[in-house]
Amino acid sequence: MFMKKIIIGVISLILIIGGILVYVYFNKPKNIPVEEPKEEIKDEIEEEKYVDDNKIVLGLYKNYHNGKNRTLIKEYASTWSYHNDISSFEVYYTNEEEISSKNQIALFDEYKDNYLNPLNYKIGYYISFDTLEKSIQKTILSPKDTEDFFEFLEIYLYDDYHRSGGWYSHTTEEEYNSETLLTSIKLTAGVNVQDIISDITLMAFTYDEDDFDENNNYRGVSKYTITIKNNMD
C-alpha cells in the first residue's frame, strides 16, 4: 500500500513537471524584431524636400563700352597687378552669346520681364581661389562679404539697376538694403595678388531666402560660372 502511494506520487510529480515544461515551451517569447528608431524621421523628410522652382537663366557679360555688343563670358584672362582692375562683369537674365550694347537698365528690364515675379529674387556671387597659405571660398550677398580676402582680391559690387545717369560708385554696406540688386561686379588686384596661385572661379546666382544650406552654400539652380585667369601664369 505504501509502495503504491510512492509510485502514484512519483507519477504525479512527473506529470506536473512535464506540464510545466510543455507550458514553458509553448509560451516562450517569440523573436520579435525590434524596430529601429527612424533617423529623426529621415532628417525631417530631408528638410521638407527642398526644391528650387526658380526659372531664371542668367549669364555674366563683358561690356566693352564702345558700341560693340556685350559678350557672354565663359573664361577671361588678364594681367593681374596691384590696384589695377582685372575686369568687370554684368549680370543679365539670359544665356545668349551676344546681347545689345544699349542702356544697362533698359537691357536688364528686357530680359527680366521674361520671368514671373523676377524681383522676388536677389543677385549674389560666389568666389573661390587658392593662395600660398589658404584656400578662399566665399558666398557674397552684400559688400561686407568681400572683406575677408581684400588683401588678395578687391571686389566691388554695383546696383546698376537703381542708378541713373552720370558716374556712380560701388554699393557700400551702409547703402545696401532689401531693394538692392547687385547687377555687376568688379574684380581688382589686391596688394598681395601675387600670392594667388590658382585661377579665380566666379559664380553669379539668383536666390530667395531658402536657397542656402546650413553652411550658407547656395544650393539653387539659377547660376552661371566663369573662370578668370592670370596672363602672367
201: three-class secondary structure by DSSP: strand
Task: Tell me the three cell numbers of residue 135.
Answer: 584656400
What's the DSSP call for residue 212? B
What is the rounded radius of gyration, in angstroms, for the C-alpha atoms of the chain? Answer: 34
Q: Which residue carries 509510485 as its cell?
A: 7
Q: Which residues of 48-69 are buried (b: 16+ CB within 10 A; e: fewer)?
A: eeeeeebebbbbbbbbeeeeee
CB 62 within 8 A of CB 186: no
pLDDT at 62: 97
**What is the model's pLDDT at position 211?**
96
Helices (H), 93-188: 104-112
pLDDT tens, residue by residue, 9-63: 556 656 666 556 555 555 655 555 555 555 655 555 555 789 999 999 999 999 9
What number of CA atoms fall less than 13 Å from residue 60's CA on the CB side?
Answer: 27
CA distance 180 to 189: 25
Can you give the pLDDT at residue 12? 60
Instruction: Spell out, as residue ranges, where the chain has pLDDT lower than 70.
Output: 1-47, 164-166, 233
Residue 104, CA atoms < 13 Å, CB-side half-sphere:
21
Query: What pTM value is reported for the model?
Result: 0.79
Q: What pLDDT, on a 0 to 100 scale, did the predictor assign at position 34?
A: 53
Q: How many CA atoms lie within 13 A of 117 on its CB side?
A: 6
- pLDDT more than 70, % of the chain: 78
Q: So what's the pLDDT on residue 232?
A: 76
> What is the structure's pLDDT at 221?
97
Give the pLDDT confidence score for residue 96 in this predicted structure: 98
Question: Which grid coordinates are listed for 155?
Answer: 571686389
Q: Which residues contact 223 (CB under 8 A, 6 or more apart)?
A: 58, 203, 204, 205, 206
Report pLDDT for 227. Answer: 98
